[in-house]
Structure 1
């Protein structure tokens, strides 16, 4: 029987391969023994996050994404009904709904993150769950368009919990295991992306207001469950004072400039999030125009993307990062994303587009590992602000991405027969990932 392999052997192998996890300067680490590095204060022994607590956070993240997806089939119908069936006016109003939701996420994600740094993660997450549930009741009962609009604005405020959820996981997970846990939360987003539109379509076929009642019940039940199983992850002595200067989007983004390497990781995060928006923005239009697919085929294709993301982020990221390290996960993930997006741009038949799904799903390695590297740079009292700043970046990308990719697609269609054709938005997204890859190579390079 061969001798057991020691940790030193593993570290030496990683160093030889150039894939060892990036170690930040000592000053950037939280003090040994704090909740952020996964050690108990009394014994210094590694602790494991409670399974029930992580399950609750996972469900909360999935419900956030489900709340976005469940309304996709029914919210346009309700808006159209309130607008008297005017298609043009309904389209403009529905766009306003989406912009208002994104703006609320942009402004309130850093606020929730800062509140969780001051008062703890548990109360912020539980209050948010209750608020989302009650807001869905309001939307289910909305008697007119403006009540429905107010409800969507409130849902954008209350459902900005992703920052606090990621901060919670950073609190209770050792630094070298955070990429795996962040990947699991990414799988929660994937599950919500798959189940949300399906649930909305089925329930909406019975009654267009039924999905709101279902989402309300799920959120309120989850809040009740969390009240009993979710412990606080941030001890009082590790909390930071609250100030509006730190809790607004600009204040949150200033945090990213506190360290050059952290800022580099933030730019990488932004470029990746921006590239991700190509499929939601032009995917349906592209698949319909280029392959002539109907709604059912497009729906199955989107579901396939979601299922592949769940497999990668829920099952592969943890073992992959453990074996190869965070640097290799970031660089390899972006390389796969570049290949996948390029394949989608060049695919002149539908089956070629499907072949790109595995490669684009492996892109998830980069996002989870990059988020983990960012969390290593700051202590436990700043994890909420960090994740709030990340949510701000996502909000900015959400405002820029739809305009960017829709205009690129329109220009490509206006010049038929010229390169790169209708796949131009996917090539633009691939170019963004090339920039992210180059920056990642520099940001994760060991000094000397």
Structure 2
């Protein structure tokens, strides 16, 4: 069993690395391609900012439903089966821009990417976390979650480093090839984890029986998550409730940073693909060092709750420094601070995983990720107008980084809320009663 777990983790890490490599390596090029297709020859374009915000909102709305669904279905049908879906779909948008990056191909990519990201965005990582929770004991789970995030950060570095030396066309061609390799590798080598069917006896066990479903419904509907599943999990664990609130505000800030930063740097300092790649490489290296080397040490010394607060505080400083950047070297200095800000999501996922038993890890990871998806809906509605307004000539006052400063404030709210998270770890079960579905 231990050999199976170790082999499964090593193959899982490779799957995550290959998938993240293909996704992250195209990020530095997307801003330039978007600007060239919509506002050619300009360094500031409100339409591009709004389109990016609309895309984030649509992805968040869809993911709010799809993420808990896939997580819950993975508890029943297996992690590997559900992983194959996002790994397959993520190939198609890359193929479009690998073929051409002209205006109409960009719009085709934009539409397909939005639809595919509803299923793919964050789901590979979500299902990978559930896989880790299946095969790793609770006392080592936070460290392995950190290693998993470190693997993703390493892929982030490698992807952006390769982009630095590739043409735009070659970047998307290589990304599409790597995405196909990730799919084939997962299909051939990743074993399905063995999930124990019984609940842990540690802590408090709360059984939430959902309303009896009609007896003529198909068996699949027993596994479909509902809003009641999320409410049940949160209502019966104050720790999970506060973790959900922290997740929401942290992800609001994170999406605000992602949707605003590159447009801010292009408008303020005329950054291009290569400079974006340099900045992301620095941030990725800092994140890899943090998660692979520092986190296993710090989580043992401080615990997940305190380390979460440390990560949130440094995340606030990290974005605040971006917002007041007065020279082109300041963003690079700010990127280095991410070495202490990258702990947030691994700690939150580990805290959440301890709130349920081994056969509901997909559900709880899907619920937390679904809350992050809801934040992805709210965030662009706030930060896209703010970014477009304060980068335009009609800003009420001169502060081009005002949107980023607001993102830093959201991280500060999450930091304050993190002190409410208790170290107690009750085990909760919000599952359908089998008797509710038995035929007479």
TM-score (norm 2): 0.75
The match for 1:116 is 74
> Aligned pair in 2 of structure 1 residues 423, 215: CA closer, same or farther (>3 Å)?
same
Change (3 A) 1:256 1:57: farther
Moved more, 394-403 or 189-198: 189-198
Distance 1:288 1:385 in 2: 40
1:350 paired to 2:305: no
Equivalent pair of 2:318/2:334 in contact (CA under 8 Å): yes
Residue of 91, 106, 113 corresponding to 2:64: 106
The whole-number CA distance in structure 1 between the counterparts of 2:137 and 2:55 is 39
Matched, 1:178 2:141: yes
The 1:95/1:335 distance shift into structure 2, 3 A limit, reads: closer
Q: For residue 401 of structure 1, report the CA deviation from its aligned partner.
A: 2.1
- Shift of residue 74, structure 1, vs aligned partner: 6.6
User: Are the counterparts in 1 of residues 390 and 402 from structure 2 also a CA contact under 8 Å?
Assistant: yes
Deviation at 1:86, TM superposition (A): 13
Matches within 5 A, 1:18-417: 50-72=5-27, 101-126=59-84, 128-130=86-88, 132=90, 149-150=111-112, 153-154=115-116, 156-157=118-119, 160-196=123-159, 199=162, 205-206=168-169, 210-211=173-174, 213-226=176-189, 229-235=190-196, 243=221, 246-248=224-226, 251-252=229-230, 254-413=232-391, 414-415=394-395
CA distance 1:391–1:312, change in 2 (3 Å)? same
Contact 1:342–1:426 (CA<8 Å) still a contact in 2? yes
Provide structure 2 residue ranges, at least 5 long, that are not aligned to the other structure: 201-206, 208-218, 426-440
| Residue aligned with 2:119, SS | helix
Aligned residues: 398
Q: Distance in 2 between matches of 1:344 and 1:93?
A: 23
Q: CA RMSD in A?
A: 4.1
> Is contact 2:76–2:223 with CA below 8 Å preserved after alignment?
no
Bigger mean CA deviation after superposition, 291-300 or 130-139: 130-139
Tell me, which stretches of 5 or more residues in structure 1 are unaligned? 1-39, 41-46
Name the CA distance, whole Å, in 2 between partners of 1:429 and 1:279: 7
SS at match of 1:320: helix
Q: Call closer, same or farther: CA 1:93–1:321 in 2, change over 3 Å.
A: closer
Deviation at 1:93, TM superposition (A): 7.3
Deviation at 1:53, TM superposition (A): 1.7
